[in-house]
Chains A and B, each alone.
Chain A
Amino acid sequence: MSSLVSKNTLFKNGRVVDPANQRDAIGDVLVLAGVVAPQGAAVPADTAVVDCTGLLVTPGLIDLHVHLREPGQSAKETIASGARAAAAGGFTTVVCMPNTSPSIDSASVVSWVLEKARAEASVRVLATGALSKGIAGEEMAPIGALKKAGVVALTDDGRCIQNHELMRRALEYAKMFGLVVMDHCQDYSLVGKGVMHEGYWSTVLGLPGWPAAGEELIVQRNALLAELTGTPIHCQHLSAAGSVRVLREARARGVALSGEVCPHHIALTDASLQGYDTNFKMNPPLRSQEHVEALLEGIADGTITILASDHAPHCGFEKEVEFDQAPFGILGLETEVGLFLDILVHKRKVIDLKRFVEMYTVNPARLLGLNAGTLSPGVPADITVLDPGMEWTVDRDTSFSLSRNTPFHGWELKGRAVHTVVGGKTVWKL
Chain B
Amino acid sequence: MSFSSDESPASLLVPTPTRWTRKDLTGLQDLSREELTLLLDTAAAFKTVGTRHIKKVPALRGKTLVNFFVEPSTRTRVSFELAAERLSADIINMSASGSSLTKGETLKDTALNLQALHADVIVLRHSSSGAAQFLAERLDASIVNAGDGAHEHPTQALLDAFTIRERKGGIQGLHVAIVGDILFSRVARSDIFALLKLGAKVTLVGPSTLVPAELSRLGVHLSHDLDALLPELDVINMLRVQHERQQKAYFPSLGEYTSLFGLTKARAARLRPDCLVMHPGPINRGVEIDSDVADSSRSVILEQVTNGLAVRMAVLYLCNAARSGEWL
Contacts and interface: CB of A to CB of B under 8 A. Distances in A.
Contact of B107 (A200, A275, A321): A321
Task: Tell me what chain B mostly uses at the interface: helix, strand, loop, or mixed.
Answer: mixed
Given A199-B214, A203-B212, A206-B148, A323 B108 contact: no
A130 B186 CA distance: 41
A320 interface: yes
Given A204-B189, A206-B149, A322 B217 contact: no
B214 A205 contact: no
A271 interface: no
A206 B131 CA distance: 11
A207 interface: yes
A323 B218 CA distance: 23
A321 B129 CA distance: 11
Nearest to B26: A276
Task: Tell me what chain A mostly uses at the interface: helix, strand, loop, or mixed.
Answer: helix
A320 B133 contact: no
B46 to A, nearest CB: 29
Given A206-B149, A206-B151, A276 B212 contact: no
On chain A, which size bracket covers the interface?
10 to 19
B246 interface: no
A321 B130 CA distance: 10
Interface in A291-337: 317, 320-325
A206 B186 CA distance: 7
On chain B, which size bracket covers the interface?
20 to 34
B150 interface: yes
A276 B215 contact: no
Given A205-B129, A206-B189, A317-B106, A323 B212 contact: no
A163 B217 CA distance: 38
Contacts of B29: 204
B128 interface: yes
B130 A323 contact: yes
Given A203-B214, A206-B152, A206-B186, A323 B107 contact: no
A317 B215 CA distance: 34
Contacts of A320: 106, 108
Given A320-B106, A320-B108, A207 B130 contact: yes
User: Which residue, of A199, A203, A207, has the highest number of chain B Cβ atoms within 10 A?
Assistant: A203
Contacts of A206: 129, 148-152, 186, 189
A324 B215 CA distance: 21
B212 A322 contact: no
Contacts of A322: 107, 126, 128, 130-131, 134
Contacts of B129: 205-207, 276, 323-324
Interface string B224-242: 0000000000000000000
Nearest to B184: A206
User: Which residue, of B134, B148, B183, has the highest number of chain A Cβ atoms within 10 A?
Assistant: B134
Contact of A276 (B133, B150, B217, B218): B133
Nearest to B135: A322
User: Which residue, of A275, A322, A323, A325, has the highest number of chain B Cβ atoms within 10 A?
Assistant: A322
A320 B110 CA distance: 13
Contacts of A321: 106-108
A34 B149 CA distance: 58
Contacts of A317: 106
A275 B133 contact: yes
List 9 A-B pairs, minimum CB-CB distance, nearest first.
A276-B130, A206-B151, A206-B150, A322-B128, A206-B129, A200-B214, A203-B212, A203-B214, A323-B130
8 contacts: A203-B183, A206-B149, A207-B129, A276-B129, A276-B134, A322-B131, A324-B129, A325-B128
Interface of B: 29, 106-108, 126, 128-131, 133-134, 148-152, 183, 186, 189, 212, 214-215, 217-218
Given A199-B214, A203-B183, A206-B149, 11 more contacts: A204-B215, A207-B130, A207-B151, A276-B129, A317-B106, A320-B106, A321-B106, A322-B130, A323-B134, A324-B129, A324-B149
